[in-house]
Chain A
Amino acid sequence: MSAALPDETGDAIHLDRIVKRFDGALALNHASLRVRRGTVHGLVGQNGAGKSTLIKLLAGLHQPDEGRIEIDGQAYDRLTPHRVEELGIHFIHQDRLLVPTFTVGEALFLGREPRITGTPFLDRRLMQRRASEILDDYFGVKLPNSALISELSTAEKQIVQITRALLDQPKVLVFDEPTAALVRREADILFRLIRRLRDEGVTIIYISHYLNEIEELCDTVTILRNGEDVATLPLGETSAAAIARLMVARDIADMFPKRSVTLGKDILSLDHLSSHGKYQDISLTLRRGEVLGLTGLLGSGAKDLIRTLFGLETATSGQIEIDGQPARSANPAQAVDRHLALVPEDRRGNGVALDLSVTENITLSSLKRFTRLGFLDFNGERSEADDLIRRLEIKASGRNALVRTLSGGNQQKVAIAKWLSRHSEVYLLDEPTVGVDIGSKVEIYNLIGDLAARGAGIIVLSSDLAELIGITDRILVLFRGSIIREFVSSRTSPDDVLAASTGSSEVLRHVG
């Protein structure tokens, strides 16, 4: 590996005061990232802080609206993914870009296939041999030559993808949440590999939610918050606890319009609910008028729990009751009939139909109410849509505008309006403000408060902890499939919740 000459110093990457807007919403606000050659540089921030935008800019997938990108001291105007790769910068993505029906050797060498000397034919044997050599050498992993990518475990796929990048002798490797799907032992192997690569002169950018990993692995860390880089610190002088504090904004606390609602009777209760390999023994109750927060890292089981309630997954054991009636739903249709509502995280995929109009989206779930003898009552639909557009202050060119033309925040309001029209009573909101501008966020918080005041039960799943504390009454933290902590929102801080969800409570206690 010939990455950098030993005497060479300076920055491998310098993103300088980058500004990036999406549909008018500010994703990056003069954010900078300066990575020194031959170091492991951590990048942390809550969801929506701008990490992925920053990385996509570096990858040449987006272009900045303002600011400079310097690589090896040279400024680049328009980066393309291809150019970035030529410059020796490689990305290990969360979504593994490997062809499922390829063998490991084929996946590793796609695009630079070795040929049998003097022929136009693939040297499959060499591919297999090199593949097993490299995998064995770097990871001590032995995979049979015939193994297809689709047959590998998530960790094995990850290893193959890292190896693919290594074949290009990268100067900079960017890891995006690489351990999210790995067990501890596999993660340890990855860490040792990363250190070894650094010692060979490769520059590493490491993005993770697990602060203990950052603490363990990185030389320097940059903390992003609300699209700005709030600090860049050497790890020797900081701790996971200090990083956690920096990640969470405090100045926006007053944007949460907290209102007190008298809690009614139980509306939803889970009794020892388990799903094999996803979550275990979850018991909780939700009362009318209550806003319950749920949080946990990727793989904590929080998302699966929400999906189970809505009939998208099935639990292996345990009970769900709504208003005292058994309510384990086999499909979303059953769940919706039980007055459950899900506002999914993937808004544009599952929440709203982009090419249907605002009206068509709003009444999609409640069409039965607007049907007379099988035929649609257009007037009823129109007045319902107008009513909800007004109540939720949905900004659209009209009720017939395609939802595609709306901003993220207004799309989300449409997704919620659909359930208001259905008269739902238990709302499951999965990351309700991801990709939503600040103004719309506050409006959505208000809306959640309104719903609670009208006697609905609400579960908010969010990794934005300030938001979670601001709008909920209680917070349950899931870690590796179990509820490990419960907080009363008015008596906790984002640091505590973050510490609990990253499993680094002990660290915090030591630091004080």
Chain B
Amino acid sequence: MSVDIQLAPVIHFEPGAQSFKPSRGGNLAASALRAGSLLAFVAILFVFSLTAPYFLSVGNIGNVLGQSAISGILAIGLTVVLIAGGSNVVTGGIDLSLAANMGLSAAVYATTVQLGYGDAAAVAAALVTGFLIGVVNAAAVVGAGIVPLLATLAVMNIVAGLELVLTQNTVIPASTPLLTALSSSGPLGIPALAYVLLVFTLIAAAIVQYTPAGLRLYAVGEFPDAARAAGLPVRRLVASAFIASGLCGGFAGVLSVSNLSGSTTGSGEMLLPVVVTALLGSVFSRRLVPTVIGTLLSTLFVGFLVNGFQLLNISSVLVSGVQGLLILLVVSATTLLRRQEA
């Protein structure tokens, strides 16, 4: 960096005139929304812990983390695409192939193991699968110029079909040292998957939130013209977001095998919950944008909800309703706040 502008300060506004006015409506409203969401999160934890004493024990928290690992990693993958694609879900960033990607990667992993290969080869195969799916998405969106909603929809169909072809719609059992380790418990009796989720989130957050590349992804998604004006390779950045998302799908695939001791069908069911989770995550960020940590919080929010309902013997079917209501509340609040500002 050579930012050497060394000039004597010359001009100053009269004192006070230039001081930044913090009473800007937008900022306040955003803070209120974020505080409200966090408060709701804490309140729900509190209510559950009152009614179910076991709820806030280390063991239970670990369980929730472990159970949220797969959806959390998928949601983080989607978050990257949302960041680079912008807030308009129809024309901007969305990856509908993520859940199917996880299913196929899991099937590839289990099949590779069945063929007698070791963990390393199987993990590599799963990750390559995810990577290739990401490349196809990137080519379709950036190369052919298909809107992401349609491109990833078509890819989703293909991938889900390939999974069926590979598995013949059956469970492919798999048991390897890695899977055993993943499904065991780690320190403090907390599931290993919980640690995997935390470490993965940390790494993802470090890349997305703390590197120049991450910053550029935000610029590309929110204001492509500004990104272009700053000389950023917009197309390459968007493509890399889809590829990153594909890799997340591959990784989640490996984890899902450990969770279920084999590859199973029905991964497509996870798609829409993951979409909602990733979209909800933005309320946990100061700037109301998708962030890795925000997505983690949103994943855990849903995880605790499911867990609490189970502990209280409430049907967990309410979870999807609560998620739906939340997203409508959040989006209504932001829309109305923005309208008031304008």
Contact = CB atoms under 8 A, between A and B. Distances in A.
Interface of A: 1, 81-82, 85, 97-102, 106, 110-115, 120-122, 124, 126, 130, 134, 136-144, 147-148, 150-151, 166-167, 185, 189, 192-193, 196
Contacts of B230: 97, 110-111
A138 B3 CA distance: 13
B83 to A, nearest CB: 11
B20 A102 contact: no
B4 to A, nearest CB: 9
A126 to B, nearest CB: 8
Contacts of A141: 13, 18
| Ranked 9 nearest A-B pairs via Cβ | A140-B12, A111-B230, A113-B212, A97-B226, A101-B287, A97-B229, A99-B223, A151-B24, A110-B230
B231 A137 contact: no
Given A115-B212, A143-B20, A151-B26, A167 B222 contact: no
A312 to B, nearest CB: 12
B13 A138 contact: no
Given A122-B211, A150-B26, A166 B226 contact: no
A134 B206 contact: no
A138 B9 CA distance: 6
B210 A122 contact: yes
B7 interface: yes
Given A97-B229, A144-B20, 7 more contacts: A101-B288, A111-B231, A130-B1, A137-B7, A143-B20, A151-B27, A166-B5
Nearest to B289: A101
Given A106-B215, A122-B211, A142 B222 contact: no
A143 B13 CA distance: 13
Most buried by B among A85, A113, A126, A196: A113
B218 interface: yes
Nearest to A139: B11
B10 interface: yes
A117 to B, nearest CB: 11
B17 interface: yes
A99 B19 contact: no
Contacts, number: 99
B232 interface: yes
Given A137-B9, A147-B20, A148-B287, A97 B27 contact: no
Contacts of A130: 1, 3
B216 A111 contact: yes
Contact of B218 (A101, A150, A196): A101
A97 B225 contact: yes
Contacts of B252: none
Interface of B is mostly: loop
Nearest to A167: B3
Contact of B226 (A82, A99, A120, A121): A99
Contact of B219 (A1, A110, A143, A192): A110
Contacts of A150: 26
Interface in B212-244: 212, 214-216, 218-219, 222-223, 225-232
30 contacts: A82-B231, A97-B223, A99-B223, A100-B222, A101-B222, A106-B215, A110-B219, A110-B227, A111-B230, A111-B231, A112-B1, A122-B211, A122-B212, A122-B215, A130-B3, A136-B9, A137-B5, A137-B7, A137-B9, A140-B11, A140-B13, A141-B18, A144-B22, A150-B26, A166-B5, A185-B13, A185-B17, A189-B11, A192-B11, A196-B7
A478 B211 CA distance: 50
Contacts of B12: 140
Interface string B263-282: 00000000000000000000
Contacts of B206: 121
Contacts of B20: 142-144, 147
Given A144-B20, A167-B3, A99 B219 contact: yes
Nearest to B285: A101
A150 B226 CA distance: 14
A110 B226 contact: yes
A110 B215 contact: yes
A193 B7 CA distance: 11
Contact of A121 (B10, B18, B211): B211
A82 B219 CA distance: 18
Contacts of B24: 151
Given A101-B287, A139-B11, A140-B11, A134 B5 contact: yes
A144 B19 CA distance: 9
Contacts of A97: 223, 225-226, 229-230
Contacts of A120: 211
Interface in B167-225: 206, 210-212, 214-216, 218-219, 222-223, 225
A140 B18 contact: yes
Interface in B1-47: 1, 3, 5, 7, 9-13, 17-20, 22, 24, 26-27
B1 A121 contact: no
B215 A113 contact: yes
A19 to B, nearest CB: 27
A114 B1 contact: yes
A139 B17 CA distance: 12
Nearest to B229: A97
Contact of B10 (A1, A122, A192): A192
Nearest to B207: A120
A143 B20 CA distance: 6
Contacts of B218: 99, 101-102
Contacts of A139: 11
A101 B1 CA distance: 24
Contacts of B231: 82, 85, 111
A45 B296 CA distance: 55
B92 to A, nearest CB: 15
B338 to A, nearest CB: 11
Most buried by B among A144, A151, A189: A151
Contacts of B26: 150-151
A101 B86 CA distance: 12
Nearest to A130: B3
Nearest to B212: A113
A121 B210 contact: yes
B222 A99 contact: yes
A500 B73 CA distance: 64
A110 B216 contact: yes
B315 to A, nearest CB: 39
Contacts of A196: 7, 10
A499 to B, nearest CB: 30
A380 to B, nearest CB: 36
Nearest to B21: A153
Most buried by B among A97, A110, A136, A196: A110
Contacts of A134: 3, 5
Contacts of B229: 81, 97
